[in-house]
């Protein structure tokens, strides 16, 4: 009985940890899962449209040899249920920017709309 209670508490603890990821942590997860071709993780942390876009270009991007992305936040901003993260990694020479939205309480990378201005 004690073992079952312990396992239940562990599962609840892990579930709570998943939903409390910050927008910057989510951005890092998306970058690493994309380059490491970890599609289930990528899908979990992106909106449907964003996931479809990532999958469209996936075949032209080689899988990363390195597990350490050296993810470094350059700039970030959060405004309610949306956030922006500009970051650098070993995968790209130039910094990249992700737009994130909160969907069902969790941050997800979403598409940047045509003509939409990045806040920094």
Does the predicted model carry a pTM greater than 0.85?
A: no
Distance CA 109, CA 51 (A): 9
Q: CATH topology for 23-61+69-110?
A: Nuclear Transport Factor 2; Chain: A, (3.10.450)
Measured at the CA of 45, the angle between CA 42 and CA 47, to 5 degrees, comes to 100
Distance CA 72, CA 76 (A): 11
Nearest Cα to Cα of residue 34 among 112, 103, 92, 94: 92
Q: Say whether pLDDT at 9 is over 60.
A: no
**116 CB burial (10 A radius; 0-12, 13-18, 19+):** exposed
Domain boundaries defined on the chain:
23-61+69-110
pLDDT digits (tens, 9 = 90+) for 49-81: 999 999 999 888 887 776 789 999 999 999 999
Edge-to-edge, what's the strand order for the sheet holding 72-79? 72-79, 82-88, 96-103, 106-110
């Amino acid at each position: 009985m004690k073992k079952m209670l312990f396992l239940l508490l562990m599962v609840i603890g892990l579930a709570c940890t998943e939903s409390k990821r910050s927008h910057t942590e989510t951005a890092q997860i998306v970058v690493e899962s994309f380059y490491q071709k970890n599609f289930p993780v990528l899908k979990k942390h992106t909106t449907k449209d964003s996931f479809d876009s990532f999958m469209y270009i996936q075949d032209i991007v080689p899988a990363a040899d390195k597990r350490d992305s050296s993810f470094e936040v350059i700039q970030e901003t959060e405004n309610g249920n949306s956030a922006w993260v500009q970051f650098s990694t070993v995968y790209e020479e130039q910094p990249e920017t992700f737009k994130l939205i909160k969907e069902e309480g969790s941050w997800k990378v979403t598409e940047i709309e045509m003509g939409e201005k990045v806040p920094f």
